[in-house]
Amino acid sequence: MPKNSKVTQREHSNEHVTESVADLLALEEPVDYKQSVLNVAGETGGKQKAAEEELDAEDRPAWNSKLQYILAQIGFSVGLGNIWRFPYLCQKNGGGAYLVPYLVLLIIIGIPLFFLELAVGQRIRRGSIGVWHYVCPRLGGIGFSSCIVCLFVGLYYNVIIGWSVFYFFKSFQYPLPWSECPVIRNGTVAVVEPECEKSSATTYFWYREALDISNSISESGGLNWKMTLCLLVAWSIVGMAVVKGIQSSGKVMYFSSLFPYVVLACFLVRGLLLRGAVDGILHMFTPKLDKMLDPQVWREAATQVFFALGLGFGGVIAFSSYNKQDNNCHFDAALVSFINFFTSVLATLVVFAVLGFKANIMNEKCVVENAEKILGYLNSNVLSRDLIPPHVNFSHLTTKDYSEMYNVIMTVKEKQFSALGLDPCLLEDELDKSVQGTGLAFIAFTEAMTHFPASPFWSVMFFLMLINLGLGSMIGTMAGITTPIIDTFKVPKEIFTVGCCVFAFFVGLLFVQRSGNYFVTMFDDYSATLPLTVIVILENIAVAWIYGTKKFMQELTEMLGFRPYRFYFYMWKFVSPLFMAVLTTASIIQLGVSPPGYSAWIKEEAAERYLYFPNWAMALLITLIAVATLPIPVVFILRHFHLLSDGSNTLSVSYKKGRMMKDISNLEENDETRFILSKVPSEAPSPMPTHRSYLGPGSTSPLETSGNPNGRYGSGYLLASTPESEL
């Protein structure tokens, strides 16, 4: 080492020095721990080079601004599920009563775990693989499982974007192609398509024109070429958005994250002006209190919290890893969580306003159809005209008049009433009709838009909004795959990203078969939910119980400049793990009690029928769940029995300050020892204790090096305990 270096000067100085190892490595004034981390690892036999383990932070991308980062997190967390899954769950689970369990779980599980993922990503500045290897090497498989789940979700999620692309281009015509049933002409005879006549124009267009769906998952039916092209367009858009990492995706977020709010605001204003909108909104906010105690409602609310905030996917960690060390991630967690919840409520208001309008139209249609039946019975003397109240006018029949007439006929003709085939035509029945997931967007909402003035304009806006919502989520999902792989294996960013998109497109052809929608259901409802729950609970355990909640809180204090609320300590340590354990158990029981299935569209009946997955599909589903969770036990076993190196046998030191980690592992052996211990080699204690990482002065269970306490520096140096030692 040069004689004029600061370390050498200090070594020959008689000045009493009390700085820690981190201070010496700074080669300057005592280190500000808010902007620095000392990482100690070892190297033996040249198996690993520390320079390959740590990226130079000056080469690591960073967000151009705080706004860009917040928009990226919002774009990832606010997705298609906020538009159709949350309103559907509200409709299904008691309207306003569903908001209670959702808010409770958002506070005790969602926000604390979202804050945890933001904090570990920002602190360690790596993707999910690097983060969980750093926190606890034996649980390093969590990061690999997150990548696999992101892959599963990305495969089918981009198919939904492809569907939106198809509808977007079909919206540039008047009337909208799903507003009327097609007519089949045979010479001079014209008849309405039977499948459409039995269902509805929008339902027919979705199942037959868009998906050309088969009757079951066992009937492949070949590729749907229209959707194959749309899937190619969707992956091309995603590829262009993420090919340069956050340099390209960050700019896309300005539009993709903000545009949906413009559209939602326009739809809310338009929806509130529709006839019957108030009926839909009142129906939403009328709570069914019995639903609040239903365990199934709480399970679904917890699952929605996970998906809404993107917990366990790795995208949150990836985005946060590009932040500065002193960024206030606690504020970010609260802000993004609030915006996410606000967006869900806003979307629900829009959906229920539009569905209230649609329900009034369908109710009036029901009244007209049943009034024609009654007139037929009156003309054929099946019913007496004395049963009709004198003030009823069939030319201007209101729902109130029909209801009165219906009740009279039902009372007088009690025994023969069922044979008449009359419907009550209640508005509440129309509002209670739950349309799940894609059906809400591509059937119910599209049908309502056909009754809007200037319907093509609203349709274009709606599906452009869906494309942007999906794009924001896909950027985060791709970051959950690419960031940890690039950080860990140092693969070229652009080549790997393009390769991922090409690979995903070809695998995604599974979802654009005629039976592809049933595979989307399998992946969406089953393959990701259970693995995600396992990942999130293990993340919580790794930080709170293995790494140590007190230690983690101390490091957050150093990083943020203030101590987070004690609330998080108890949530991470006790409440969140308990609730997630209950959720995991409930999910497993639910799979056992209710065998997985899907809603199949039967062409001959023009109706949906619930079918169970066949044996081969169940085997595929179990395989998907196993593949997603398998890295966790595999990595644990390999590292427990020392079959896989965790880097703890190597000796290297990296100093991370601000945005960079400077590797000094290329020092000569004697200089390296003296640099770390500030002693000449003959005075250095031996052997060096096995050690992984030093995270600041708040570390628990420190291990003090041997040596004369009254030696040159008057004190020994403290080394932090490793996560492995706490296992």
Question: Tens of pLDDT along 313-327?
Answer: 999 999 999 998 889
Question: Tens of pLDDT along 481-495?
Answer: 999 999 999 999 999
Band of residue 703 on the pLDDT scale cut at 50, 70, 90: very low
Higher-confidence residue of 668 and 209: namely 209
Q: Six-digit token pair at 536?
A: 């999130």
Contact between 611 and 597 under an 8 Å Cβ cutoff? The reply is yes
Q: Are strands 607-612 and 597-602 parallel, antiparallel or unpaired?
A: antiparallel
- Mean pLDDT over 662-666 rounds to 38
Q: Across 576-663, where does the E strand assignment appear?
A: 597-602, 607-612, 651-657, 660-663
Q: Other C-beta atoms within 10 Å of 611: how many?
A: 16
Cα(25)–Cα(109) distance, integer angstroms:
39
The closest alpha carbon to 481, from 130, 149, 169, belongs to 149
Task: Return the residue matching tokens 């200037």.
Answer: 454
Question: Tens of pLDDT along 68-121?
Answer: 999 999 999 998 888 888 888 888 887 778 888 999 999 999 999 999 999 999
Whether 8 has a pLDDT exceeding 70, the answer reads no
- Mean pLDDT over 203-223 rounds to 92
Cα(326)–Cα(72) distance, integer angstroms:
19
Phi, psi of 442 (to 5 degrees): -95, -5
Question: Tens of pLDDT along 14-46?
Answer: 444 444 444 444 444 444 433 444 343 444 433
Task: Return the residue matching tokens 């280190």.
Answer: 31
Question: Tens of pLDDT along 644-660?
Answer: 876 544 333 333 433 33
Q: Six-digit token pair at 326?
A: 């002193």
The closest alpha carbon to 466, from 84, 179, 74, belongs to 84
Task: Return the residue matching tokens 């250095």.
Answer: 684
> What's the pLDDT score for residue 436?
63
Cα(467)–Cα(168) distance, integer angstroms:
9
666 is in an annotated binding site: no
Cα(558)–Cα(119) distance, integer angstroms:
12
Q: Percentage of the chain surpassing pLDDT 90?
A: 44
> Is 660 exposed, middle or buried, given 0-12, 13-18 or 19+ CB atoms closer than 10 A?
middle
- Mean pLDDT over 404-422 rounds to 82
Contact between 216 and 228 under an 8 Å Cβ cutoff? The reply is no
The highest-confidence range among 3-12, 272-281, 541-550, by mean pLDDT, is 541-550
> What's the pLDDT score for residue 647?
56
Q: Six-digit token pair at 516?
A: 């592809």
Q: Percentage of the chain surpassing pLDDT 70?
A: 80
Cα(83)–Cα(74) distance, integer angstroms:
14
131 is in an annotated binding site: no
473 is in an annotated binding site: yes
Q: Other C-beta atoms within 10 Å of 400: how many?
A: 9
Sign of CA dihedral 105, 106, 107, 109: positive
Band of residue 437 on the pLDDT scale cut at 50, 70, 90: low
Mean pLDDT value across the chain: 80
> What's the pLDDT score for residue 588?
82
Residue 708 is given by DSSP the state -
- Mean pLDDT over 577-595 rounds to 83
Whether 727 has a pLDDT exceeding 50, the answer reads no
Q: Six-digit token pair at 656?
A: 């991370």
H or E element at residue 719: strand 718-719
- Mean pLDDT over 220-233 rounds to 94
Whether 723 has a pLDDT exceeding 80, the answer reads no
Band of residue 709 on the pLDDT scale cut at 50, 70, 90: very low
> What's the pLDDT score for residue 548?
92
SS3 661: strand
- Mean pLDDT over 499-522 rounds to 94
Cα(89)–Cα(103) distance, integer angstroms:
14
- Mean pLDDT over 573-602 rounds to 86
Q: Across 342-422, where does the E strand assignment appear?
A: none
Q: What is the DSSP string of 76-138?
A: HHS-HIIIIIHHHHHHHTTGGGGHHHHHHHIIIIIHHHHHHHHHHHHHH-S-HHHHHHHH-GG
> What's the pLDDT score for residue 39?
42
Cα(507)–Cα(224) distance, integer angstroms:
15
| Whole-number Cα distances in Å, 295 to 101, 291, 302, 428, 583 | 10, 9, 11, 25, 10
Mean pLDDT lowest for which of 280-284, 331-335, 615-619? 280-284
SS3 191: strand
Contact between 43 and 50 under an 8 Å Cβ cutoff? The reply is yes
- Would residue 192 be called left, alpha or beta, if left means φ above 0 and alpha means ψ between -120 and 50 degrees? beta
Whether 208 has a pLDDT exceeding 80, the answer reads yes
> What's the pLDDT score for residue 29?
45
Mean pLDDT lowest for which of 74-83, 325-334, 712-721? 712-721
CA 329 to chain CA mean position, Å: 19
Whether 464 has a pLDDT exceeding 50, the answer reads yes
Band of residue 435 on the pLDDT scale cut at 50, 70, 90: low
Q: Other C-beta atoms within 10 Å of 518: how many?
A: 24
> What's the pLDDT score for residue 406?
86
Band of residue 675 on the pLDDT scale cut at 50, 70, 90: very low
> What's the pLDDT score for residue 84?
83
Q: Are strands 36-42 and 651-657 parallel, antiparallel or unpaired?
A: antiparallel
Q: Other C-beta atoms within 10 Å of 685: how many?
A: 14
For residue 39, give the amino acid letter: N
H or E element at residue 41: strand 36-42
> What's the pLDDT score for residue 646?
67
> What's the pLDDT score for residue 650?
39
Higher-confidence residue of 631 and 382: namely 631
Cα(71)–Cα(74) distance, integer angstroms:
5
Whether 688 has a pLDDT exceeding 70, the answer reads no
648 is in an annotated binding site: no
Whether 684 has a pLDDT exceeding 60, the answer reads no
Burial profile 36-63: b = 16 or more Cβ within 10 angstroms, e = fewer: bbbbbbbbeeeebebeebbbebeebebb
Q: Six-digit token pair at 541?
A: 């355990």
> What's the pLDDT score for residue 72?
93
271 is in an annotated binding site: no
- Mean pLDDT over 353-364 rounds to 86
693 is in an annotated binding site: no
- Would residue 720 be called left, alpha or beta, if left means φ above 0 and alpha means ψ between -120 and 50 degrees? beta
The closest alpha carbon to 557, from 274, 337, 330, belongs to 330
SS3 61: coil
Whether 726 has a pLDDT exceeding 80, the answer reads no
List of residues 6+ apart from 36 with CB closer than 8 A = 22, 26, 325, 655, 656, 657, 658
> What's the pLDDT score for residue 198?
87
> What's the pLDDT score for residue 119?
95
Say how many residues make up the chain: 727
